[in-house]
Amino acid sequence: MDNTDNNTAPAKPRSLGDRLFRLAGIVILLASAAAGWLVIDYQAFTKTQLAVPAEGLLLKIMPGRSVRGIANDLADQGLLKNPYYFEWLVRRSGSTTRLQAGEYQIKPGTYPESLVQLLSSGKVLQHSLTIVEGWTFRQMLAAMRADTTLKHTVLDKSDVDIMAALGHADEHPEGRFLPDTYFFPRGTTDVAFLARAYDALAQTLEREWATRSDGLPLKTPYESLILASIIEKETGVADERARISGVFVRRLLKGMRLQTDPTVIYGLGDSYDGDIRFSDLRKDTAYNTYTRDGLPPTPIALAGAEAIHAALHPAEGKELYFVASGDGRHQFSATLEEHNKAVRKYQMKRKPLDASVGK
């Protein structure tokens, strides 16, 4: 007897459409799971500090570098693992066109969003160069040549060409730049640096000239700059500047020669060997204030703001002479007799000639 259930029919094979529909469902589920994982992983990335070393990291972005290129640079330097996440963050923040080239100092504890804000702000790393009071124009140029963060374009040209690049071809360069510490991003041109120092000097001189003391024997701001440069070279002691200025101003008013060694030394130029002699004092140059009346034709050094102020605000008094006392300061005298005594007192301890007025 046949026990087969006649009511059971064999299963029909699934159609191609059914299989594709089921496969599509699986793909969608997997894609949803992957997308969910990506969202979670991306959010974790935005809330995790970048792998910045303890000493910080210098990031350089070259002009024209794309967002993807920057992201790859960050990955290459070990700051992040997935450069695509950083690229997405930049695009989502709308900063794609705002990232700026330059050098950036990345500090430990920086988050991805903070880095995007930094790169968008343009707050690039600032380098510095100090122009020292009393330097000559040549010494300033030498310091600029040695600075590798500046872009050198005119430093090897003539003084006239350098001043022409600044728009002042008819001006002598000595004393035209204000000593100070200047901050600037890498790649700043030497012309831009010089222009800042030139403008700073011009502004300082204009401000001080407007508030100058009455009765000065100085006809122009430039003459006050010349006097300031002499004061700068005569002393590095702050509280002596106004007194030395007073000596020079009174000598000019009386028609006395300034008789100051720094001007003689400047006039000797490269022939000066570090030792000034009596024969040097008698050698006439445009800068020899022993042989010529009045001020020299140009400044002899870069004068700082304090020296400029002193030149235009001299201390009152009767002193007409001063001599170096050997401790960095000077002995001031009102009469030639007093001065000669001071010279004998102090110069017996030193070489025959030291900076003094009225020898």
pLDDT digits (tens, 9 = 90+) for 309-346: 999 999 999 999 999 888 889 999 999 999 999 888 88
CATH class of 21-124: alpha beta
Residues 6+ apart with CB under 8 A from 194: 144, 162, 166, 177
In this prediction, residue 7 carries a pLDDT of: 56
- Burial annotation 85-97 (CB, 10 A radius, 16+ → b, else e): bbbbbbeeeebee
For the chain, give every residue range classified as CATH 3.30.1490.480: 21-124
Mean pLDDT for all residues in the chain:
88
182-193: average pLDDT? 96
Work out the pLDDT band at 36, boundaries 50, 70, 90.
low
Q: Give the whole-angstrom CA distance, residue 347 versus residue 349.
A: 5
| Other beta carbons within 10 Å of 161 | 11
The pTM assigned to this predicted structure is 0.81
- Is residue 355 predicted with pLDDT exceeding 50? no
- Is residue 143 predicted with pLDDT exceeding 90? yes
What CA–CA distances, in Å, run from 12 to 7, 9, 25? Answer: 15, 9, 22
- Is residue 223 predicted with pLDDT exceeding 70? yes
- Is residue 194 predicted with pLDDT exceeding 90? yes
Q: Which residues pair with 106 in a beta bridge?
A: 57
In this prediction, residue 335 carries a pLDDT of: 93
Instruction: Looking at mean pLDDT, say which of 98-102, 118-122, 151-155 comes out highest.
Output: 151-155
238-245: average pLDDT? 96
Report helix, strand or coil for 203.
Answer: helix
In this prediction, residue 98 carries a pLDDT of: 79
In this prediction, residue 34 carries a pLDDT of: 56
Percent of the chain past pLDDT 70, that is, above it, reads 86
Report helix, strand or coil for 248.
Answer: helix
